[in-house]
Amino acid sequence: MRLILLGPPGAGKGTQAQHLVAKHGIVQLSTGDMLRAAVAAGTSVGLRAKGIMDRGELVPDEVVVAIIADRIGQNDAKRGFVLDGFPRTVPQAEALDRLLAERGLKLDGVIQLKVDEGILLKRIETRVAEMTARGEKLRADDNPDVLMGRLAAYRAQTAPLAGYYARKGMLKSVDGMAPIGDVTAAIDRLLSPAGPVKAKLTIKPATKPTRRKAKSAKAKGRAKKPRSKASARRAPSRRSKGRKSGRKARRAGRSKNKSGQVKSRTRRRLTKAR
Ligand code: ADP
């Protein structure tokens, strides 16, 4: 299974990625984690990325694309992967499409965690407070000021990816503000073979509507077939055999009167002429 988790910083991508790893036996590929590892190891990529990351800006596309190209080719990624933090720009998404196509691989879905930005800031503040209380080392970019910059980068460069994948029919969205377990359950439902849309369709057997359609077409034909004037005079229609409708009854009465008048007028004229 090959998935992408899409959502702003603090949306819970990492938490959900871990669940997907355990459930599907795939690997989590987080470009943020890889870049932090490169920074810690002091590699050339790490040295290039450090300042950019600390400011909450995006590392150049070619750097992260090269990291991912290398990583998805490794053995542990053969069973599948969940991308967390990549792609983050449309050019990165296009590069990923090319990388997968070259290897004959396909994505199974893109899961978007939808969140309220105001609440995200509070979440990050809480996370920072909890980590500080536990004496854990904070990420250089885990502070509300830098988060504002990360959110701005997300809005400008990453949010358009939702449209990119929606146009390909791959985007699935979940409410990222729900409790963690609910978000996990919603993602599982989206990924299950009998997803919500398919489940609905199985309620109605495919034969019923077809049969109903055929009947109604017949009925329509019968109703529309006009009766010839002659046949209308010869025999009353099945409907008019019984009780006549008010309008019909009035019309019938009038015609009787009319024919009576014509007869009597003609007779009068004939009498005058004589
Ligand atoms: P977040 O918590 O903001 O989702 P990540 O751990 O995914 O953060 O990434 C931290 C930082 O690493 C980003 O702010 C950015 O500077 C850099 N980074 C991670 N992934 C990418 C990427 N795909 N493209 C560009 N920069 C990236």
Our answer to whether residue 88 is catalytic in this structure is: yes
Our answer to whether residue 139 is catalytic in this structure is: yes
pLDDT tens sequence across 125-170: 888 888 889 998 887 777 778 888 888 999 999 999 999 999 999 9
C-beta of residue 250 within 8 angstroms of C-beta of residue 240: no
Q: What is the pTM of this model?
A: 0.69
* Token reading at 138: 């904070």
**57 Cα: distance to centroid of ligand 1 (angstroms):** 8
| Fold (CATH) for 2-116+159-191 | Rossmann fold (3.40.50)
**85 Cα: distance to centroid of ligand 1 (angstroms):** 6
Query: CA-CA distance, 76 to 94, in Å (whole number)?
Result: 24
What is the arithmetic mean of pLDDT over 196-200? Answer: 48
User: Catalytic residue among 55, 71, 123, 127, which?
Assistant: 127
Q: Is the CB of 31 under 6 A from ligand 1?
A: yes
Name the residue at shortest CA distance from atom 10 of ligand 1.
32
Please list, in sequence order, all residues whose beta carbon lies within 8 angstroms of the beta carbon of residue 128, skipping any fewer than 6 positions away: 138, 142, 143, 144
Q: Is the CB of 12 under 6 A from ligand 1?
A: no
Where in the chain are the domains?
2-116+159-191
What is the arithmetic mean of pLDDT over 30-35? Answer: 95
Q: Which has more pLDDT, 44 or 210?
A: 44
Please list, in sequence order, all residues whose beta carbon lies within 8 angstroms of the beta carbon of residue 71, skipping any fewer than 6 positions away: 29, 34, 77
**49 Cα: distance to centroid of ligand 1 (angstroms):** 10
* Ligand 1 probe mutation, 58, 96, 113, most atoms within 8 A of CB: 58
**CA 168, chain centre distance (Å):** 11
Q: Could you tell me what percent of the chain has a pLDDT over 90?
A: 54
Ligand 1: atom nearest CA of 68 is 23
